[in-house]
Structure 1
Amino acid sequence: MKSILLPALATLCLVFSCSPEKPSIQDKSQISLDKRTLQDKIKGGWAGQTIGVTYGGHTEFKFNGTMIQDYVPVEWDSTSIEWWYDNIPGLYDDVYMDLTFVRVFEEYGLDAPVDSFANAFANASYPLWHANQAARFNILNGIRPPQSGHWMNNPHADDIDFQIEADFAGLMSPGMANTASTISDSIGHIMNYGDGWYGGVYVAAMYSLAFVSDDVKWVVTEALKSIPEGSKYRRCMESVIASYEKYPDDWKQAWFEVERNWSEDLYCPDGVFVPFNIDASLNSAYILIGLLYGEGDFTKTMDIAMRCGQDSDCNPASAAGILGTMIGYDNIPEKYRKALRPVEDRNFAYTDASLNDLYRMSYEQALEVVKRNEGKLSDTAVQISYQAPRPVRLEAGFEGHYPTRKAWIRKTIEQVGSFDFEGKGIIFKGSVTGPEEYVALVDMYIDGKLAESVKLPANHNTRRDEIGFKFNLPHGRHTVVFEWKNPAEGVKIQVTEALVFGNVPVQDKQYIQ
């Protein structure tokens, strides 16, 4: 599997003096695809993602910090996807989040401002979690992108969110990884920053390169050039590639290497001090393990990405989407396409569009992107001006912050009184329960100074899962006091726990005496 998808491999070799064993493409190389092939690949990307998320749906976050053993079965038949559509349609948040952004391009064109994308997903009716939900809250409360995804405003900035919804950027940028990165810059920073953003940049770049090569190793390695050297995210991906080269027949050994070196989730409020890990770096590593060890086999790729655990529906979705783009819809095994056909005309939950709509919109947008980037269209073919991937800028969130303590509080906000801690950052987790229309007004004071004045809705779709948080404090002793300004009958604000961050990692094991 080492051919470049040109009219003929020989043409590429004549122009660039490469051998079939070691294909290479230079920046601005002109790559031709017939329109039917382009269409089939875009369709394969969306189909692969939908199949992959279904394949792992029954295991999502049930295996945290452990692989899913070989004896755990995956049942599949012609009704598998339809069942999830009918019973748990929220499984497809991977796809309908993408669809939100594709729809904005459809309505406003390629020059749609970032606020159009931010407003579309912030005001959508579907529920969100983690970085997406924090960004929705920020946007609805006047914190616009890119600040809505910045780690100072979003404790979930390193989470997987943009990684699972960046597919659209690669699928509309065939062979143009830098264009995919540009699209990812504006939209990805709506909800993520640093490593969380890099997850989406890398996934989009792999999709983009899957249009021009069927060499999986080349695609994942070349796409990694989109990520700046020195970033933790890139070092993690490089370690997976190194493990593959050292243990080419043992994906489980590669998994163990990832667990040993990269499995700390240091910042997500739900992943600190517990096995749950929704960090983009770790879950990207699982995508990469699936792609490399899957060796171009559709089922094997999905299965390995799923069996790595953690976000084990999203990871096979990304891996199968990238591979689906590479091989095209028509080469996805029939048993999966058979399950897909009954739903291809059905609108996704919370949307007015279906997979067939996605196939069409992404194809039309890809043609426009090709034309804008020195490409050409004829009646039957597209000529793509290939872009050799260049690294995006280096950025890192939560620098100098290290989790040192989890304090269980489990009190109402009135019962908390004052809370003392030593460190430079703190997150209070909790919830507001009451009538959907109720919005709590809460001030958080640190050392007698107002640190945050926030509106906390009881409504699940517009909620914030953190009662209060603050980073970049001077390291030392601090006292936190909450003031609930509009208490009401039948409303409760529960503060469940506090996560404290210091300025140095905890190196020594600490035992409860």
Structure 2
Amino acid sequence: MLSTSRLSLIIACFTVFFACKSPTAEEATTPTYTAGQEIKMDKNILLDKIKGGWAGQVIGCTYGGPTEFRFNGTMIGDEVPIPWDGEQMLWWYENAPGLYDDVYMDLTFVDIFEKHGIDAPDSLHALAFAKAEYQLWHANQAARYNILQGMMPPASGFWKNNPHADDIDFQIEADFAGLMSPGMINAAALVGDRIGHIMNYGDGVYGGVYVAGMYALAFVHNDMEYVVEEALKAVPKESEFHQCIADVIRWHRQYPDDWKQTWFEVQKKWSNDKGCPDGVFKAFNIDAKINAAYIVIGLLYGNGDYGKTIDISTRCGLDSDCNPANAAGILGTMIGYSQIPDYWKQGLDKVEDMDFKYTSMSLNKVYEIGMDHALQMVERNGGKVEGDEVTILYQVPETLPLEVAFEGLYPTKRGNIFKNLDLDNPEVKFAAEGKGLVITGYAGKDAGLPDAELVLDVYVDNQVVERVKMPTGFQNRKHEVFWNYDLTETAHEVKLVLIHIPKGYSIHVQEYITYSGVQPPKRTY
């Protein structure tokens, strides 16, 4: 006869199997949970799902690593091979650990929660992120510069202070917020809304909140279509982010067997980048909403198949490591670590005890920490942890307030400057027209010289509008030379004048982008 404890273990194992097995479209069910409804879950199942989410990020990120931003404005054709074997993860860990920026960025926030509690103030997260040793780009780097200059969140992510506010940055590093909030989408959204404003605003924050929401729902639902649609309720319908993802859902219904047709529809309507100075009028696009569309295309057309989900999200192109990382993490949370196919877990055992670069955390460590944070969040939100059973109080999504970045602004021109400002050439002038202006460029120095902070004044129509500090160090650099979205809608004379620059240093002024308050007419042919 089986002992009571042994019988309980067997029942728990069967429960894990049936709860975590990847559902087909026919097997998926639409739940009817109500706000505050109790959902009971064995701790083993909860841990399995948390592990599936964290491991999934690494798997998806590794698979898409070789193609990241190599296919911009085009999908990755079926004929293009993407390698996968038991050595891939170890190779990237050892040779190009910066690939996992979306994971070690997550871990910065996880570490602050671990050291200072889950009520740790945003300022601690912001300072840890700004002073970390890893390299950053786009909204993250613009926010880092702001914070190091004394501008704290939410101002550090506000679009008038951060021209990358709509970029993907928080979207790729928001997984932790969902993984610590099983079945509690509003708890995930609250964490995401707070931390997302360190580096983003508007659609950039919504991208992270949406990803975190899908993670939170994936703990308790096995219907991916439901998860994709339900999580979107946290995002205001008036936002372009919501409209873009709603379009993907609609096109999936219209073309249920053709992800490439949906990709083309996304490309036709949502491929223009408005804010990011690196993407305006270029094929490069790191905007949150179009890359989120590629996550969702993978999740919907993958039909619960792990490899298919990852491959489709990757082959959509653009940020083709971060997008499948999110998709693989969300599906991994739904089915659990134990049900991720062995083919996709091959090589995982070689890296699970290795700390991510710039951190003191490995996957095995974050599995445990993530479990602890999830249990704390369950109790914090009215649930219970009793023995081996966790009782979650289910949350129905509440919609965040509307935020719109770059509202009423339309890019009109990308012009060349390409001048080096130094001791011999301390000034550059050019004409620009519009109510918004961004100037791209960076500070540089001759080999062997120490880093320094260079200074210039920006004049618009013979008036100094900003004194700009340009560090030469990559870690604390200013991502763009200058931006201003509050000019008058007219022609302007712009002048950059060096104030402080030692010999051997220079500021490389590259391009300018102008914005109008009047939307240009659309071409009709």
Question: Partner of 1:101 in structure 2?
Answer: 109
1:259 aligns with 2:267: yes
Match of 1:34 in 2: 42
The share of aligned pairs that are identical, in percent, is 54
Counterpart amino acid of residue 47 in structure 2? Q
Superposition deviation, residue 162 in structure 1: 0.2
Is contact 1:240–1:258 with CA below 8 Å preserved after alignment? yes
Q: Tell me the residue number matched to 2:371.
A: 363
Correspondence for 2:435 among 424, 435, 448: 424
- Counterpart CA distance in 2 for 1:440 and 1:135 is 19
Q: Is the 8 A contact 1:7 1:32 kept in 2?
A: no
Determine if contact 2:29/2:222 at 8 Å carries over to the other structure. Answer: no
User: Matched residue of 2:357: which SS?
Assistant: coil
Q: Determine helix, strand or coil for the equivalent of 1:421.
A: strand
1:400 aligns with 2:408: yes
The structure 1 residue matched to 2:87, chosen from 64, 79, 86, is 79
Match of 1:172 among 173, 177, 180: 180
- 2:322 — aligned with what? 314
The aligned counterpart of 1:235 is 243
CA–CA distance in structure 2, aligned partners of residues 509 and 225 of structure 1: 33
Q: Report how far residue 478 of structure 1 moved.
A: 1.8
Q: Is 1:69 aligned to 2:77, yes or no?
A: yes
Task: Give 3-state SS (helix, strand or coil) of 2:459's partner.
Answer: strand
Secondary structure (helix, strand or coil) at the match of 1:207 reads helix
Q: Following superposition of structure 1 onto structure 2, how do residues 246-285 of structure 1 map, counting pairs within 5 Å?
A: 246-285=254-293
In structure 1, what is the Cα distance between the partners aligned to 2:491 and 2:404?
A: 26
Q: CA-to-partner distance for each residue in 1:124-182, whole Å, 9 max, x for gaps?
A: 00000000000000000011100100100000000000000000000000000001111
8 Å Cα contact 2:455-2:468 kept in structure 1: yes
- Count, aligned residues: 495
Structure 1: 5+ residue stretches without partners: 1-5, 9-18
Q: Distance in 2 between matches of 1:463 and 1:248?
A: 46
Cα drift, residue 21 of structure 1: 5.0
Q: Quote the residue 2:477 is aligned against.
A: 463
Distance 1:294 1:436, change over 3 A: farther
Distance 1:150 1:329, change over 3 A: same
What amino acid is the match of 1:127? Q
* Preserved contact between residue 178 and residue 215 of structure 2 (Cα < 8 Å): yes
Tell me the SS of whatever aligns to 1:38.
helix
2:197 is equivalent to residue 189 of structure 1: yes
CA deviation after TM superposition for structure 1 residue 335, in Å: 2.1
Structure 1 residue 111 displacement after superposition? 1.1
Distance 1:393 1:271 in 2: 27
- Counterpart of 1:277, as a letter, is N
Cα deviation for residue 418 of structure 1 reads 2.2
Q: Please state if 1:481 is matched with 2:495.
A: yes
Equivalent AA in structure 2 for residue 203 of structure 1 = V
- Give the SS at the match of 1:187: helix
Q: Give the partner amino acid of 1:27.
A: A
Tell me the distance in 1 between the aligned counterparts of 2:266 and 2:275. Answer: 18
Q: Which residue of 1 aligns with 2:22?
A: none
With over 3 angstroms needed to count, the CA separation of the structure-2 counterparts of 1:124 and 1:436, relative to structure 1, is farther
Q: Partners in 1 of 2:353 and 2:105 — Cα distance?
A: 18
Partner letter of residue 334 of structure 2?
M
Deviations 1:75-117 (A, max 9, x none): 1111110000111110000100000000000000011010000
Q: CA deviation at 1:508?
A: 5.6
Aligned residue identity for 2:325 = A
What's the CA shift for 1:23? 2.4
Shift of 1:287: 0.2
Kept in 2, the 8 Å contact 1:442–1:454? The answer is yes
Take 2:511 and 2:30, find their aligned partners in 1: how far apart are those partners? 55
**Which stretch has the larger CA shift, 160-169 or 355-364?**
355-364
Deviation at 1:60?
0.3
Counterpart position of 1:384? 392
Q: Within 2, Cα distance between the matches of 1:84 and 1:494?
A: 32
The alpha-carbon deviation at position 506 of structure 1 amounts to 2.5
Q: Work out the CA distance in 1 between the residues paired with 2:354 and 2:495.
A: 50
Pairwise CA distance, 1:412: 1.6
Which of 252, 255, 266 lines up with 1:244 in the alignment?
A: 252
What residue is the counterpart of 1:493 in the other structure? 507
2:435, 2:515 within 8 Å by CA — same for their partners in 1? yes
Work out whether residues 53 and 337 of structure 2, in 8 Å CA contact, stay in contact via their aligned partners in 1: yes
How far is 1:33 from its partner?
A: 0.7
Shift in Å, 1:22: 4.1
Q: Is the 8 A contact 2:307 2:344 kept in 1?
A: no
- Structure 2 vs 1, CA of residues 177 and 314 (structure 1 numbering), >3 Å: closer, same or farther? same
User: C-alpha displacement at 1:41, in angstroms?
Assistant: 0.3
* CA spacing shift, 1:427–1:21, aligned 2, 3 Å: closer
Residue of structure 2 equivalent to 1:454: 468
Query: Contact 1:228 / 1:393 at 8 angstroms: preserved in 2?
Result: yes
The alpha-carbon deviation at position 420 of structure 1 amounts to 1.8
The answer on whether the counterparts of 1:420 and 1:479 sit within 8 Å (CA) in structure 2 is yes
Aligned match of 1:14: none
Q: CA deviation at 1:436?
A: 4.3
Native 8 Å contact 2:426 2:497 kept in 1: no
Does residue 157 (structure 1) correspond to residue 165 (structure 2)? The answer is yes
Distance apart, 1:20 and its partner CA: 8.8
Mapped to 2, the partners of 1:146 and 1:497 lie a distance apart of: 28
Q: Give the partner amino acid of 1:442.
A: L
Structure 1 letter corresponding to 2:218? A
1:210 alignment partner in structure 2: 218
Contact (CA 8 Å) 2:30, 2:221: kept in 1 or not? no
3-state SS in 2 of match to 1:111 = coil
Alpha-carbon deviation of 1:352? 1.3
Report the AA paired with residue 363 of structure 1. Answer: M
CA contact (8 A) 2:207 2:292 kept: yes
Give the secondary-structure state (helix, strand or coil) at the position aligned to 1:497: strand
Q: CA deviation at 1:302?
A: 0.3
> What amino acid maps onto 1:473 in structure 2?
L
Q: Is the 8 A contact 1:409 1:416 kept in 2?
A: no
SS at match of 1:426: strand
- Give the Cα separation in 2 of the matches to 1:496 and 1:338: 45
The answer (yes or no) to whether the contact 2:418–2:510 under 8 Å persists in 1 is yes
2:7 corresponding residue in structure 1: none
Q: Does 1:141 align with 2:146?
A: no
Matched with 1:15 is none
1:7 touches 1:33 (CA, 8 Å); kept in 2? no
TM-score, structure 1 as length reference: 0.94
CA distance in 2, matches of 1:277, 1:109: 36
Residues 460, 22 of structure 1: alpha-carbon distance in 2 compared, 3 angstrom cutoff: closer
Distance 2:30 2:354 in 1: 43
For 1:347, the aligned partner's letter is D
Separation of aligned partners in 2, 1:436 and 1:201: 40
Native 8 Å contact 1:436 1:457 kept in 2: no
Which AA in structure 1 matches 2:161?
N
Please name the residue that 1:507 is paired with.
521
Counterparts in 2 of 1:113 and 1:20: CA distance versus 1, 3 Å: closer
Gap regions ≥5 residues in structure 2: 1-13, 17-26
**2: distance between equivalents of 1:505 and 1:416?**
33
Does residue 1:288 correspond to 2:296, yes or no? yes
Q: CA deviation at 1:261?
A: 0.7
